[in-house]
Amino acid sequence: FRQLDKIAPDLNQMMVEDIQQRSDKLFQQCVSSLEKTLQLWKTADSLASETARKPILDQREKLVSDVVQTVEHMSRTLASVQGITSRSDGDARLQRLRGELDQSLEVAKKVEQRVDSLLTGARVQNSQQINKT
């Protein structure tokens, strides 16, 4: 995405820069989500019972799947942008792609919030198990 201005120099530069920023933000969200999958795995690994571990590992798998889908979406978006050749057609397509990136960012934020609450809940559950022993 950082090379868009070279790939398509005739396109609206403000839109191109906006798409670059949004895609970078989405990429950072993916990295953050992957870091959280490691936290989820460590949390699940620290729990004694399979019953307690299973929902955390299931959530981790869903998060990994969400990241994979997001990366695939970003790949399709980049291919679409690279396919834009004329400015008149390009501005409308860029506008649509910006909207799609916004939707992906919203989904990524919701997933991150869900994982944060799951991690918080797992820590509470883990400390309660420790206190019982």
Longest CA–CA separation in the chain, Å = 69
What pLDDT shows up at residue 89? 63
Q: Which two tokens stand for residue 19?
A: 């798409």
- Under 8 Å between Cβ of 20 and 1: yes
pTM score over 0.85? no
- Under 8 Å between Cβ of 67 and 30: yes
Give mean pLDDT, residues 70-85.
78
Question: What ranges do the domains of the chain cover?
Answer: 4-132
Structure confidence by residue, pLDDT tens digits, 4-34: 666 555 566 777 777 788 888 888 989 999 9
Residue whose pair of structure tokens reads 């936290």 in the numeric block? 39
The proportion of the chain whose per-residue pLDDT surpasses 90, expressed as a percent, equals 22
Give mean pLDDT, residues 58-75.
90
What pLDDT shows up at residue 81? 72
Helices (H), 9-133: 13-46, 50-82, 87-132
Question: Cα separation of 114 and 102, whole Å?
Answer: 19
The proportion of the chain whose per-residue pLDDT surpasses 70, expressed as a percent, equals 74
pLDDT above 60 for 127: no
What pLDDT shows up at residue 57? 93
- Under 8 Å between Cβ of 61 and 33: no
- Calculate the CA 63 to chain-centre distance: 9
Count of Cβ atoms closer than 10 Å to residue 65 Cβ: 10
